[in-house]
Structure 1
Amino acid sequence: MTMKADNAIPGAPRGALLRNVFRQAPTKPGQTYGVPGEGNTIRISVAAVLSVLALWQIVTASGLIAPLFLPSPVAVAEKFFALVQNGYTNAPLLQHILVSAARVFAAFALACVIGIPLGLGMGMSPTLRGLFDPFLEFYRPIPPLAYLPLMIIWFGIGETSKILLIFLSVLAPVALGARAGVRSVAIEQIHAAYSLGATRSQVLREVVLPSAFPEILTAMRIGVGFGWTTLVAAEMVAATQGLGYMVLSASQFLQTSTVLVGIILIGGIAWIFDLAMRWVEKRLVPWKGRM
């Protein structure tokens, strides 16, 4: 006796039913599954952004909001090109961008080097989990501004305190994401590897890491987002360059268009990096979300 799925379409061939799940199945090595509606999502996103810009322009052009509080998109674009041409506080705009990017990505790299092995160890060892988990969970919800004074007292007002502040905001999500990745590995896979004679290091390299890698990449995406969020706080003290410094300095002189340019640049750079991480995910873990 054959059994039918509850949602099966009478008379529909099996291949048609599968194509309802995936728009296009991979037919070549390395080719990934297509996602239904992905093109529609992009079109909707573009339309949403254009609609918000149009509404923004209409509201500001009609005088409902004073330019001091919300400049028009045209005024923000003009300020951007003015900053590109003239710079800000005797430094080119590109230099502000590079300084901020260097701080964030230096802290991000340090957090990955320390946080990923720490998370893997916490996931595999109850002892390490017992040692480090309370401290990570304790400081994780604390806003960076709360321990900024300690960073200044302990490490001064130089680059070290700025990078460490961003590092602390990135470390917890990266380490906890790596730990969650290890905990998601099926115990049957580990037992099967040991039964075939694999050593502990081989199990870690051949079973645990590939299974935890999708979670680790997601944690890295989340972590770098926290890094850009903490950037403004890190550049609050004794900074003379950087996007966060530009936003804070311009706000003191009510230069709202400059503030918006800085905010848009911070969000844009973070978004571009997130897109790059998504591309890496599709290439390295194409099965993510398809199982």
Structure 2
Amino acid sequence: MRRDYGPLWPWSVAGLVLFFGIWQAVVSAGLVSNFVLPSPLEVLDRTITLLGRPFAGYLLHEHVFSSFMRFLGGFSLAAVIGVPLGLMMGRFRLLEDIVTPLFEGYRYVAPLAWVPFAALWFGTGIGGPIMVIFTGAFAPCVINAYRGARLVDTYLIEAAQTHGAGEFRIAKEVLLPGALPSIVAGLRISAGLGWQSLIGAELIVVSSGIGYVMVQGQSNLSPSTVMTAMFVIGLVGLGIDFVLRFVEARVRAKWEGK
């Protein structure tokens, strides 16, 4: 039985204060060189500087916006293609048998393995990062939609067929609502993998974005810039996950309340 510690947010704040306090103390005591590990105060100062002074051609928030738009494009494409494909694979055994061998081989190829082709096919344009994000986000969309469709009770499909519903209507009014909790959970996983894939792509095939800031920070021997970019990556990823967790909780509450 879990013990009740009351509200959790004070413990989260305490954990953050402890973490950054130890980090600052280690650097201030000279146990680690500032060049190897900049202190939290240096990172904060660098963050403020990057918000007001262009670095690698843009302000920090402009780099973040550029990265997020690439992420949104690749993630949306993965969801629009992956979710219907997963639902149809769960509905039709023949389609599952046709797609599964190719899909299983594809999903074990790391998204970053596609970076050379992204650079070759799209150069430094937006198409390359979107392609890499898509490869990272696509598989969870398919898998979770497929699993959700398989969990839909057969009698619901048979009842819809008895009332003359076609396959499109069955997919829209039976499979999709029944698989929705699994789909939303898959989108959360997909978003995390897509965001990680984007940063990897931006290390190589773009001329803007938060990953590009990391590359330029390394080239300019500025560890505080690299660390700033890392924290921004984590914060944006946390924000994306928070939104999707909220959506997932609402969907599950509504679905279980029926």
- TM-score normalised to the size of structure 2? 0.89
Q: Summarize the Cα distance change of 1:81–1:108 in structure 2 as closer, same or farther, 3 Å threshold.
A: same
Hey, what's the Cα distance between the residues in 1 that align with 2:255 and 2:46?
42
Equivalent residue, structure 2, for 1:263? 230
2:13 to 36, 46, 56: 46
Give the match's secondary structure for 2:108. coil
Equivalent residue, structure 2, for 1:93? 60
Hey, what's the Cα distance between the residues in 2 that align with 1:50 and 1:101?
28
Equivalent residue, structure 2, for 1:243? 210
Q: Deviations over 1:149-208 (max 9, x none)?
A: 122233334221221111111111111111111112233443454456655444333332
Alpha-carbon contact 2:118-2:205 (below 8 Å) kept: no
Q: Summarize the Cα distance change of 1:285–1:69 in structure 2 as closer, same or farther, 3 Å threshold.
A: same
Equivalent residue, structure 2, for 1:30? none
Hey, what's the Cα distance between the residues in 1 that align with 2:254 and 2:8?
20
Hey, what's the Cα distance between the residues in 1 that align with 2:14 and 2:153?
42
Hey, what's the Cα distance between the residues in 1 that align with 2:6 and 2:171?
38
2:213 is equivalent to residue 228 of structure 1: no
Q: Which moved more, 1:200-209 or 1:135-144?
A: 200-209
Q: Which moved more, 1:100-109 or 1:53-62?
A: 53-62
Q: Which moved more, 1:212-221 or 1:53-62?
A: 53-62
Whichever residue aligns with residue 116 of structure 1, its letter is V
Q: Summarize the Cα distance change of 1:38–1:166 in structure 2 as closer, same or farther, 3 Å threshold.
A: farther
2:153 is equivalent to residue 186 of structure 1: yes
Hey, what's the Cα distance between the residues in 1 that align with 2:212 and 2:48?
19
Gaps of 5+ in 2: none
2:244 is equivalent to residue 277 of structure 1: yes
Hey, what's the Cα distance between the residues in 2 that align with 1:56 and 1:266?
19
Hey, what's the Cα distance between the residues in 2 that align with 1:98 and 1:89?
14
Cα distance, 1:282 vs structure 2: 2.8
Q: Summarize the Cα distance change of 1:276–1:139 in structure 2 as closer, same or farther, 3 Å threshold.
A: same
Hey, what's the Cα distance between the residues in 2 that align with 1:224 and 1:189?
31
Within 5 Å, which residues of 2 pair with 1:21-60? 40-60=7-27
Q: Summarize the Cα distance change of 1:139–1:279 in structure 2 as closer, same or farther, 3 Å threshold.
A: same
Q: Summarize the Cα distance change of 1:281–1:126 in structure 2 as closer, same or farther, 3 Å threshold.
A: same
Q: Summarize the Cα distance change of 1:199–1:94 in structure 2 as closer, same or farther, 3 Å threshold.
A: same
Cα distance, 1:289 vs structure 2: 8.1
Whichever residue aligns with residue 240 of structure 2, its letter is F
Cα distance, 1:217 vs structure 2: 0.7
Q: Summarize the Cα distance change of 1:41–1:207 in structure 2 as closer, same or farther, 3 Å threshold.
A: farther
Give the match's secondary structure for 1:40. coil
Alpha-carbon contact 2:75-2:134 (below 8 Å) kept: yes
Hey, what's the Cα distance between the residues in 2 that align with 1:248 and 1:205?
45
Whichever residue aligns with residue 126 of structure 2, its letter is E
Hey, what's the Cα distance between the residues in 1 that align with 2:17 and 2:8?
14
Give the match's secondary structure for 1:254. coil
Within 5 Å, which residues of 2 pair with 1:190-201? 190-194=157-161, 198-201=165-168
Whichever residue aligns with residue 222 of structure 2, its letter is Q
Structure with bigger gyration radius: 1
- TM-score normalised to the size of structure 1? 0.80
Q: Summarize the Cα distance change of 1:127–1:37 in structure 2 as closer, same or farther, 3 Å threshold.
A: farther
Q: Deviations over 1:251-279 (max 9, x none)?
A: 23331111111111111111111111122
Cα distance, 1:99 vs structure 2: 0.7
User: In percent, how many aligned pairs have the same letter?
Assistant: 34
Higher relative contact order (CA 8 A, sep 6+): 2
Equivalent residue, structure 1, for 2:170? 203
Provide the aligned C-alpha RMSD in A.
2.6
Give the match's secondary structure for 1:240. coil
Hey, what's the Cα distance between the residues in 2 that align with 1:288 and 1:54?
43
